[in-house]
Structure 1
Amino acid sequence: MATSVEEVSLSIVREYLSRKGLRRTIACMDEEHPRTEASVNNRSHLRQILNMEGLYRKNKALNSPLKTLLEIIVKHRIEGLKNDKITCSKSDPLPSARTMSWIANSSAVSPTVMNDTQTEDSTTAYVISKHVKLSSDIEEVCPSQPPMASLQDNDSYIRREPEKKAPTTESTQKSRTNRIRRGMMAGPIASTSQESNKKRQNQRLEVSKQQLIKKEENKHVGDALLVAGVHQKSSESGLSEITSADCVGVQRELCIAQERVQRENSFGKVQQDILKTTTVKSLPKPNVADLDVSEMVLDDIDDDDDLRELSKVSFPRTVAEHSCAGRPMDQHTAMELKAVLLGSSLNCFSVEWRNQGFTFLDTHDLRYGIVQKKGGPCGVLASIQAFVLKKLLFENFESSNTGLQMLRPSNTTRRKCLVLAAAEILWRAGEGKQATIAINSRQNQFTPTGHYKSEGVLEKITCFTVDNIKDLQLLLERHIDQFETGVLGCILFTISAVLSRSIDKVRDDMDVPTTTLIGAHGYCTQELVNLLLCGRAVSNVFDNDMELDSGNSNMTLLKGVKGHCDVGLLSLFEHYDICKVGAYLKTPCYPIWVVCSESHFSVLFGLQRELLTNQDKSLEFDLYYYDGLANQQEEIRLTVSVGKWALNCQHVDTDLIPPLEHCIRTRWKGAFVNWNDTEPIL
């Protein structure tokens, strides 16, 4: 596969930032330019691509070798330019009468034998000497210009010069424009507008003075060189006078050269005026504290239109970008996260967790469903599935869809629902004040040491904290691929929820602070499910807190759910009298429940909110059941009959009652469940 110039360039910059320890800068860069399969992550491979093995070995042999490839390249270029200037200064003295004589006698300038074309060759030699002088003048006015070609190349230059009687071409003008722009724009913005204006005014005055001085010098030097050229030509050709045609040709070349200098000077003035207008009039006056590295204009501009459009660019970044500066994961936080999630910093996430994201089904009747690959993270998947259904059914984004059509969302709609569902969960965990998103930066943010086992997950995380739910939604939408299709989506979302709540508050929510959010066999504990449903990692499902007398005047505080939840919970453990689900979870704001049955979490939901208000009356309604791990191929619709409707239904053997029905009856006592020709889940 052909190597991309852009990817190699990005890799060089990443290698520089990495070896300089600029982790936050790398995180911002990876956010704007995510790594791809074409990215070069191996330093040796990068040296081979750049064909700089020799430079690398030469640098390594130095007493104080440079650490980055970018520095090696820059040093090589600087030394090359210095050598060129030294060679040029030794071989190319400034034009003078002696120089004119040398040029005229040089075989490099006069490669042909003196014949009928002697007049043209002598005229050309004069023009070249004039160009050398004028190039030094241009260099003083526009120092960003590269030096004039050395006299070693004059042979080819002279042969081309007579053909260049017309003004400079458009490509040459653009090339010169780009060089001037780079010299004028590749620097930071002035600290204050007053200093900026003062510096520009001084620069303009200096340029104006230089222009006047150079014009006078050009006039005198031009006259002197003209006389020198006339005498030189007369002495070599044996002629006592110059024809009027030759004088006209020489004067034409002189005029063209002088016009070129004037264009360069006037162009530099125009560029400064444009830059002044851009930075002073069009742009807001920035504060020094608000300036960021990314706000500097360092790119080359290849067209005049781009420079004109520069005044329309808004340098200050958006509120979302300012308020959510990413911070790399550090080892201390990683150890704390592992302890609260897995119990120890030496434990690692299971394969089931590492390979799980929030990927939707493509089955027509189940397009709302998130697929669970293997057992383990079902509590996280069921929780976010419940909130996706809430957004889909009760915050309808496709107004044309009604009833069951809402359960067949488009790709865009279900992705939007996933973004909003994740944002709601994280915002609730942050108590409606702030939220944190964990993003995989695809490179290590710290080097693990000591009592910590590395697995390539927490080490590569960058955290973004926002204090506005709109910014949270925008940030999630930008990185939703990492959660939806990324293999670490489930882990990243769980870490985001814990960090949004904060590790200390998560421990304080629990009855026993040493409890983990991921239990035996990689199963989600009730604390983790409650964190996602209610915003608190409490250990119980009853309403409010409860105090138990543990003897000797000691009271044990058991922490429960503090208020009504949007999404509820039904548990098979309540059927076995192991726990009691309170009204806050049993009667949520929306007819959606996460079902805990047989150490597995799934989702039960209805389409009408009315069934929540008619719980004590006789009614019949439908509920839909979805289990991401069951490899469903069709929807499961259950008809629940309550009150007198249930008395008319024929009951089956209690030994064959599916666990899901027991869970439903903890909410609607004595209800009859009709599976509508679907095979009951036992």
Structure 2
Amino acid sequence: MTETLPSVLQEDLLSIKLLLWGNDIKADIFSRWSQGFYFSQNEPSALEQTHGGPCSILAPVQAYIIKNLLLENETFDSKTSISEAKQNEMLQGALCEIVRQCSTGKYYAAYLDHGDVTAASETTINGDRPFEDALRQQTSTSFHPSKFHASLRLKVFSDADEFENYVSENVVKYKGAYGILLFLYSVIATKGLNQVRTECDTSEPLIDATYGYGSQSLINLMITGRAVTYVWDFEQDVGGLKLKGLERQSKIGFITLMEHLRYCTVGSFFKNPVHPVWVLGSETHLTVLFSTNKRLVSPETKSEQARRIFKNYDKDGNNFISSDKLQDVLYELELVSDEAYVDIMKKKLDSEHLGIILLNAFMDEFFPKEESSTPDTFQLMHYNGLGQSNYDGNVIYRHGTAILLESDLRAMCESNPMLTCLLTKWPTIEINWQDNVTPSLN
């Protein structure tokens, strides 16, 4: 049942606005975020992004749409005709799944009211009269942020089924001019302000005040339901500070060029998700990579686990660790790790007393017969929602054939951001894109 909102929620709605935008909302940034979930005419299951900014919402929603399509049809023929009713169903499914991950009980749906703002069951911002006509328009060039927020309301639902019914009945509003913003406010309200503040660093707004892109906390919230600031596994102690990362394996993955640039460390929970779908991050934009090959997310072999754990202690990616970390690595791998045994292995693996242990030496000693869960070749597809970032201006999925080479060398290619980003997940990957055109990360 939809509940009447107490007046105290007016303060909460104001706080959500402050959390997202800060003290001042630039009109041009707000305008770029004021779009709906529009499907491409050229790729009927792909969403289009009309302006830079809201990719932190669009890319995760697109990733969940793809994930659900892969569950329905393993072959995933992207050119299959899709009706408008099916598009609505895909959009509803993705939006509701993201909101469900954020809910701690109740569900909130943001909407714009153009009727009587004094109704007792509704919450308004700033007390202004709502802007009557903007919702009926498919463009939002004249809708100022203050007028949008004056019209913003919340409905509250006691369970997921009620919320999903509401989204189904009102899906046209999410496809309308302010659909992304209405969904965003619904997510934050459902998550709860206090919970968001507990999970992330709220010293800066979730939407950058200068450039208009979403923060990593906002990206993480959309993908996992948790607004943590970091992308590593669990909680890390950095200089005495406990910094929160992911708690569990994510349904959807995340890999980023920023890891190569040493701005972050992406953990296994993001790199090895439940489904073969990854949000890709560049310095300024988010896109989506996916595959129909489920072996890309099959359980790790023992040797793959060993490489991953070893590299967790190899922060600089140099393929060696300091000798004093050997005991920690062995303990985490549930191998013999008592001090006497570790001292013997240190002398054997570091015979020249350099104070380091090489990855290859470690693997040869403990896992001489390496096995891989990942196939040597596989197909990948890439999505970029910005028309101008696609080769011919059309938003379509770009196909590629990937090959994993037998090498431990990381051959980063600064002139190929796509390859460099993928190398952070598959260190020996080479990929041939259809028509020899590498898709853009930006």
TM-score with structure 1 setting the length: 0.47
Q: How does 1:476-515 map to 2 (within 5 A)?
A: 476-484=167-175, 486-510=176-200, 512-515=201-204
Alignment partner, residue 137 of structure 1: none
Match of 1:457 among 148, 168, 191: 148
Alignment partner, residue 14 of structure 2: 335
Alpha-carbon contact 1:392-1:414 (below 8 Å) kept? no
Alignment partner, residue 435 of structure 2: 677
One-letter amino acid of the counterpart of residue 676, structure 1: Q
Aligned partners of 1:483, 1:500: CA distance in 2, in Å?
Answer: 17
One-letter amino acid of the counterpart of residue 627, structure 1: N
Q: CA deviation at 1:346?
A: 6.5
The question of 1:619 aligning with 2:376 is answered yes
Alignment partner, residue 344 of structure 1: 23
Q: CA deviation at 1:507?
A: 1.1
Q: How does 1:601-616 map to 2 (within 5 A)?
A: 601-613=286-298, 616=372
Alignment partner, residue 268 of structure 2: 583
% of aligned pairs identical?
Answer: 25
Alignment partner, residue 60 of structure 2: 383
- RMSD of the TM alignment (CA)? 2.8
One-letter amino acid of the counterpart of residue 22, structure 2: G
The question of 1:442 aligning with 2:114 is answered yes
**Residues 251-290 of structure 1: per-residue CA shift (max 9 Å, x gap):** xxxxxxxxxxxxxxxxxxxxxxxxxxxxxxxxxxxxxxxx
Alpha-carbon contact 2:398-2:439 (below 8 Å) kept? no
Alignment partner, residue 230 of structure 2: 540
**Residues 471-507 of structure 1: per-residue CA shift (max 9 Å, x gap):** 22111011111111x1111111111110011111111
Write 1 or 2 for the structure with the bigger share of strand. 2
**Residues 296-341 of structure 1: per-residue CA shift (max 9 Å, x gap):** xxxxxxxxxxxxxxxxxxxxxxxxxx24556789642332112100
Alignment partner, residue 425 of structure 1: 98
Aligned partners of 2:192, 2:79: CA distance in 1, in Å?
Answer: 36
Aligned partners of 1:505, 1:347: CA distance in 2, in Å?
Answer: 27
Alpha-carbon contact 2:48-2:395 (below 8 Å) kept? no
Aligned partners of 2:232, 2:220: CA distance in 1, in Å?
Answer: 11
Write 1 or 2 for the structure with the bigger share of helix. 1
SS of residue paired to 1:350: helix
Aligned partners of 1:464, 1:669: CA distance in 2, in Å?
Answer: 47
Alpha-carbon contact 2:199-2:226 (below 8 Å) kept? yes
Match of 2:282 among 589, 593, 597: 597
Alignment partner, residue 45 of structure 2: 368
Equivalent residues, number:
340
Aligned partners of 1:567, 1:407: CA distance in 2, in Å?
Answer: 24
**Residues 513-546 of structure 1: per-residue CA shift (max 9 Å, x gap):** 3231101311111010111111111100001111
SS of residue paired to 1:457: helix
Task: Provide structure 2 residue ranges, at least 5 long, that are not aligned to the other structure.
Answer: 118-122, 129-143, 301-371
Q: How does 1:267-286 map to 2 (within 5 A)?
A: none
One-letter amino acid of the counterpart of residue 465, structure 1: V
1:385–1:327: structure 2 CA closer, same or farther, 3 Å change rule? Answer: farther
Aligned partners of 2:148, 2:217: CA distance in 1, in Å?
Answer: 22
Aligned partners of 2:7, 2:288: CA distance in 1, in Å?
Answer: 35
TM-score with structure 2 setting the length: 0.70
One-letter amino acid of the counterpart of residue 662, structure 1: T
1:349–1:503: structure 2 CA closer, same or farther, 3 Å change rule? Answer: farther
Alpha-carbon contact 1:329-1:463 (below 8 Å) kept? no
Aligned partners of 1:633, 1:449: CA distance in 2, in Å?
Answer: 41
1:562–1:569: structure 2 CA closer, same or farther, 3 Å change rule? Answer: same
One-letter amino acid of the counterpart of residue 358, structure 1: F
Alpha-carbon contact 1:353-1:490 (below 8 Å) kept? no
One-letter amino acid of the counterpart of residue 471, structure 1: E
Alpha-carbon contact 2:288-2:383 (below 8 Å) kept? yes
SS of residue paired to 1:594: strand
Q: CA deviation at 1:354?
A: 4.5
One-letter amino acid of the counterpart of residue 404, structure 2: V
1:406–1:563: structure 2 CA closer, same or farther, 3 Å change rule? Answer: farther
**Residues 591-638 of structure 1: per-residue CA shift (max 9 Å, x gap):** 011110131001111112222228735521111001001243543101
Q: CA deviation at 1:446?
A: 3.8
One-letter amino acid of the counterpart of residue 413, structure 1: K
Alpha-carbon contact 1:383-1:533 (below 8 Å) kept? yes
Alignment partner, residue 641 of structure 1: 403
**Residues 330-385 of structure 1: per-residue CA shift (max 9 Å, x gap):** 6423321121001126766724444311010111xx11110100101111100111
Match of 2:218 among 528, 531, 547: 528
One-letter amino acid of the counterpart of residue 637, structure 1: H
Alpha-carbon contact 1:329-1:446 (below 8 Å) kept? no
Task: Provide structure 1 residue ranges, at least 5 long, that are not aligned to the other structure.
Answer: 1-321, 550-554
1:418–1:556: structure 2 CA closer, same or farther, 3 Å change rule? Answer: same
One-letter amino acid of the counterpart of residue 425, structure 1: I
One-letter amino acid of the counterpart of residue 586, structure 1: K
Aligned partners of 1:331, 1:344: CA distance in 2, in Å?
Answer: 17
Alignment partner, residue 412 of structure 1: 85
Q: How does 1:118-197 map to 2 (within 5 A)?
A: none
1:483–1:454: structure 2 CA closer, same or farther, 3 Å change rule? Answer: closer
1:326–1:411: structure 2 CA closer, same or farther, 3 Å change rule? Answer: farther
SS of residue paired to 2:146: coil
The question of 1:571 aligning with 2:328 is answered no
| Greater Rg over alpha carbons, structure | 1
1:327–1:395: structure 2 CA closer, same or farther, 3 Å change rule? Answer: farther
Q: CA deviation at 1:677?
A: 1.6
Alpha-carbon contact 1:329-1:461 (below 8 Å) kept? no
**Residues 399-447 of structure 1: per-residue CA shift (max 9 Å, x gap):** xx9431576433222210110110010011114x332111122344547
One-letter amino acid of the counterpart of residue 622, structure 1: Q
Q: CA deviation at 1:670?
A: 1.0
